[in-house]
Chain A
Amino acid sequence: MSPTVAYLLYALFALGGAGVYLALPRSQARPTHVAGLLLGAGAIVGGLMLLGTYVIAPSSTESSTNFFFYLFSAIALFAAARVVTHPKPVYSAVYFVAVAVAVAALVLLQGAEFLAIALIIVYAGAILVTYAFVIMLAQQTGVSVYDTRAREPFAAVVLGFAAMAAIAGRIADPNALPATALAPATASLVAGAGEAPVTPDAGAEAQAGNTISVGWSLMTKYVVVLELAGVLLLVGLVGAIALVKKKVPRDVGVDPEAPLGQIGKEVEPF
């Protein structure tokens, strides 16, 4: 890739960073909010398109998957920007659901069906609902002070986008990555490099889907890791229960009358 394109890309990243900086919650309401967001997400999607145009030969096959890649990238990026910038935590959680679903769709486009549905079940289903649960218990209505004030927004944005530029900047090096389009996203990539998956009955091998391939891989090559993952989950389970069952006193200086959950606190009587 030519240095010009690389600098163009960096400029777009800076634009995206500026957009996120503008959109981060500040004490006074500002109209630049949505504009900043659109700027940020638009800049990154623009960067992606630019990459496509300049790096990949435009002669590559056009298919509907391309459109969906850009669509879901845009959704994921916009929603991710909203997660980190929205002043209401419940909305952050809802936007994160959008991120998880969009990422699952991107993963699905690459033929990883099982991982995609695992992402939806685990992230959107289990993790996010528990987050929403806690948020609701903690703040039913209204916006807290600490949610409307970002801490060091400038430094944070600079750091984040510098990291991004550092990662993406590797692609400015022409030897870093091959510039070819990816292999077609077939339902089943072979499990393990070069070795064909040996399914229990050979008849099913021809149409072994992604689920079977991944399952086979997990149960043969990565079985020890799988067991370790199980142990990790068990440890997490025990740890979480042990943590939450502990009784802790209020800290000195905290209003002892303050309700634990502020359910219905701000609802005015008729």
Chain B
Amino acid sequence: MIIEWLKTQWHFSAVLTAVVAGVILGLVAYASLFERKIAAWCQDRHGPNRVGFFGLFGWRLWGLGQPIADGLKFFVKEDIVPAKVDKPLYVAAPAICLIVATMGFAVIPWGGVVDLDGDGQWDVRCQVASLDIGLLYLLGLGAMGVYGVVLGGWASNNKYSLYGALRGTAQLLSYEIPIGLAILVAVLMAGSVRLEEIILAQVGEGNCWYAVKHPIAFLLLWAAMFAETNRMPFDLPEAEQELVSGYLTEYSSMKFSMFFMAEYTHMIVGTAFLAVLFLGGWHLPFIPWLQPESTSIFAMLCKMAVMIGKVVFFMWLYMLVRWTLPRFRFDQLMRLAWQKMVPAGIGLAGVAAIVVYIRGSEMSLWREVALCWAGNVAVVVVAVLVSLLARQRGDRVTGRQGNLPAVPAAGSGA
């Protein structure tokens, strides 16, 4: 009965939307606890461990109630709207941020296709919307996501917020380009922009994950993702020490919390995206339930678990990196994007195009991987040579420029 009802794609999508929304909101809430726990672990302290569930059995449960307490705190705090802000945009900015970040979940394939009634034919896709433009949809959302930052920073009427917004704009626009180029590698290899077809092109006989074929492109996308989500070491728009939290300065209570949730949501979408494009999505090799041929409901649940596992793994890496690497300076950030990532991305896209051209239809997997690796290594070698050459010529590729005026010493009368 319920199975029959679910066999219609949009009924299934509606249920999936509810499930995903619940799981993701929970994940977002717990990501903040996770982050604080990781931070504590990195710094050799305990982290939040006081709050249990309403004193349930007197256990504290390693602080697992903390997100609920935080949420309640955000709800009941005073919502301060400073006097000179541009009110409509000030209110709209966090909403835009959160809505745009959440919309990304619509196209992510969580668990392949499902055969609900066991007749050997698959009935629905475990994906809210299977768009013909899936990948481009995510890119478009990334482009729209800038507005939350820009408008929030501008409407706050605060110098630091505006600087944060300007940094954010420049950073997000710049890093869209390497992201686009790294995506192009996966699209060229798969020959489709549908996310589920990109996964299918990486799994099964004679295929392998694109992270294996194009490790450099994978690293490029991953690094650019850090900048796109404003995470350390690229968190310049909201740098506490430099800009007193940048565009978030004037926000309090639930509005601040919405920006915060948007950031974590963005991270989850970004990592899911990474998993789909380069790590085979719901696929793990050698496990029978995680192959495209197995379409039972149990297999779907396994696939969803694997997908979420990959997301959590990358979230963990995000958090480790935060406590490992120092923040970039803004000129270094821009130089990294335009002088290193964009040329490398163009080179990698070229490599992918050449591989697709040469491989035709019957090249063996090993030869194809070898070809891809040769191309990737060639790109790295050229990049290293160019930067060595530039260093030899005296103009450093990164670092402060030599032609800045000297800072006068205090008391010298300058």
Candidates A113, A125, A264; contact of B131 at CB < 8 Å: A113
Candidates A116, A137, A140; contact of B157 at CB < 8 Å: A140
Could you say which of A124, A129, A132 has the most chain B C-beta atoms within 10 Å of its C-beta? A129
Closest beta carbon of chain B to A231's beta carbon, Å = 17
Give chain B residues whose Cβ lies under 8 Å from the Cβ of A140.
Answer: 154, 157, 162
Produce 1/0 per residue, B167-199, CB < 8 A to A: 001101100100000000000000101100000
Closest beta carbon of chain A to B102's beta carbon, Å = 17
CA distance A113 to B162 in the complex (A): 35
Interface pick from B34-42, B136-144, B238-246, B322-330: B136-144
Give chain A residues whose Cβ lies under 8 Å from the Cβ of B144.
Answer: 120, 124-125
Give chain A residues whose Cβ lies under 8 Å from the Cβ of B146.
Answer: 125, 129
Question: Given A140-B157, A211-B193: A129 and B132 within 8 A (CB)?
Answer: no
Produce 1/0 per residue, B37-72, CB < 8 A to A: 000000000000000000000000000000000000
Could you say which of A118, A130, A132 has the most chain B C-beta atoms within 10 Å of its C-beta? A132
A92 within 8 A of B: no
Give chain A residues whose Cβ lies under 8 Å from the Cβ of B353.
Answer: none
Candidates A125, A136, A187; contact of B132 at CB < 8 Å: A187
Give chain B residues whose Cβ lies under 8 Å from the Cβ of A116.
Answer: 133
8 Å CB contacts to A: which residues of B133-164?
133, 136-137, 139-140, 142-144, 146-147, 150-151, 154, 157-159, 162
CA distance A125 to B174 in the complex (A): 12
The answer on a CB contact under 8 Å between A136 and B166 is: yes
The answer on a CB contact under 8 Å between A120 and B140 is: yes
Give chain B residues whose Cβ lies under 8 Å from the Cβ of A263.
Answer: 159, 162
CA distance A179 to B155 in the complex (A): 48
8 Å CB contacts to B: which residues of A197-223?
200, 209-211
Question: Given A90-B89, A114-B133, A187-B132: A267 and B157 within 8 A (CB)?
Answer: yes
CA distance A264 to B161 in the complex (A): 10
8 Å CB contacts to B: which residues of A20-66?
none
The answer on a CB contact under 8 Å between A117 and B133 is: yes
Give chain B residues whose Cβ lies under 8 Å from the Cβ of A267.
Answer: 84, 157-159
Closest beta carbon of chain B to A106's beta carbon, Å = 16
A interface residues, tally (CB under 8 Å): 31
A contact face: mostly helix, strand, loop, or mixed: helix
A141 within 8 A of B: yes
Q: Tell me the number of A-to-B contacts counted with CB atoms below 8 Å.
A: 90
B165 within 8 A of A: yes
The answer on a CB contact under 8 Å between A129 and B173 is: yes
The answer on a CB contact under 8 Å between A129 and B150 is: yes
The answer on a CB contact under 8 Å between A136 and B162 is: yes
The answer on a CB contact under 8 Å between A264 and B169 is: no
The answer on a CB contact under 8 Å between A94 and B173 is: no
Closest beta carbon of chain A to B239's beta carbon, Å = 18
CA distance A210 to B139 in the complex (A): 18
Question: Given A133-B166, A136-B165: A126 and B159 within 8 A (CB)?
Answer: no
Closest beta carbon of chain B to A89's beta carbon, Å = 11
Closest beta carbon of chain B to A136's beta carbon, Å = 5
Give chain A residues whose Cβ lies under 8 Å from the Cβ of B133.
Answer: 113-114, 116-117, 210-211
Closest beta carbon of chain A to B95's beta carbon, Å = 13
CA distance A211 to B193 in the complex (A): 8
The answer on a CB contact under 8 Å between A129 and B169 is: yes
CA distance A160 to B142 in the complex (A): 35
A235 within 8 A of B: no
Give chain B residues whose Cβ lies under 8 Å from the Cβ of A114.
Answer: 132-133, 136
Closest beta carbon of chain A to B347's beta carbon, Å = 18
CA distance A107 to B131 in the complex (A): 15
Give chain A residues whose Cβ lies under 8 Å from the Cβ of B132.
Answer: 113-114, 187, 209-211
A237 within 8 A of B: no
Closest residue to A104 on the B side, CB-wise? B140
8 Å CB contacts to B: which residues of A107-125?
113-114, 116-118, 120-121, 124-125
The answer on a CB contact under 8 Å between A264 and B159 is: yes
Give chain A residues whose Cβ lies under 8 Å from the Cβ of B162.
Answer: 136, 140, 263-264
Closest beta carbon of chain A to B340's beta carbon, Å = 19
The answer on a CB contact under 8 Å between A141 and B157 is: yes
CA distance A129 to B173 in the complex (A): 8
CA distance A137 to B162 in the complex (A): 9
Give chain A residues whose Cβ lies under 8 Å from the Cβ of B137.
Answer: 117
The answer on a CB contact under 8 Å between B139 and A121 is: yes
Give chain A residues whose Cβ lies under 8 Å from the Cβ of B142.
Answer: 125
A75 within 8 A of B: no
CA distance A15 to B140 in the complex (A): 37
The answer on a CB contact under 8 Å between B176 and A90 is: no
Closest residue to B140 on the A side, CB-wise? A120
Closest beta carbon of chain B to A247's beta carbon, Å = 15
Could you say which of A136, A263, A267 has the most chain B C-beta atoms within 10 Å of its C-beta? A136
A97 within 8 A of B: yes
CA distance A118 to B147 in the complex (A): 17
Could you say which of A187, A210, A264, A268 has the most chain B C-beta atoms within 10 Å of its C-beta? A264
Give chain B residues whose Cβ lies under 8 Å from the Cβ of A210.
Answer: 132-133
Give chain A residues whose Cβ lies under 8 Å from the Cβ of B165.
Answer: 136
Give chain B residues whose Cβ lies under 8 Å from the Cβ of A137.
Answer: 166
CA distance A175 to B162 in the complex (A): 56
Closest beta carbon of chain B to A259's beta carbon, Å = 13
Question: Given A113-B131, A141-B157, A209-B132: A94 and B89 within 8 A (CB)?
Answer: yes
Candidates A90, A126, A268; contact of B173 at CB < 8 Å: A126
Contacts A/B (CB < 8 Å), 6 sampled:
A113-B132, A126-B173, A129-B169, A133-B166, A140-B162, A210-B133
B interface residues (Cβ-Cβ under 8 A, vs A): 84, 86, 89, 131-133, 136-137, 139-140, 142-144, 146-147, 150-151, 154, 157-159, 162, 165-166, 169-170, 172-173, 176, 191, 193-194
9 tightest A-B contacts by CB? A125-B143, A209-B132, A264-B159, A120-B140, A117-B136, A117-B133, A113-B133, A121-B140, A117-B140
Given contacts A113-B133, A117-B139, 10 further A-B contacts (CB under 8 A): A114-B132, A117-B136, A120-B140, A124-B140, A124-B144, A125-B142, A132-B169, A211-B193, A264-B162, A267-B159
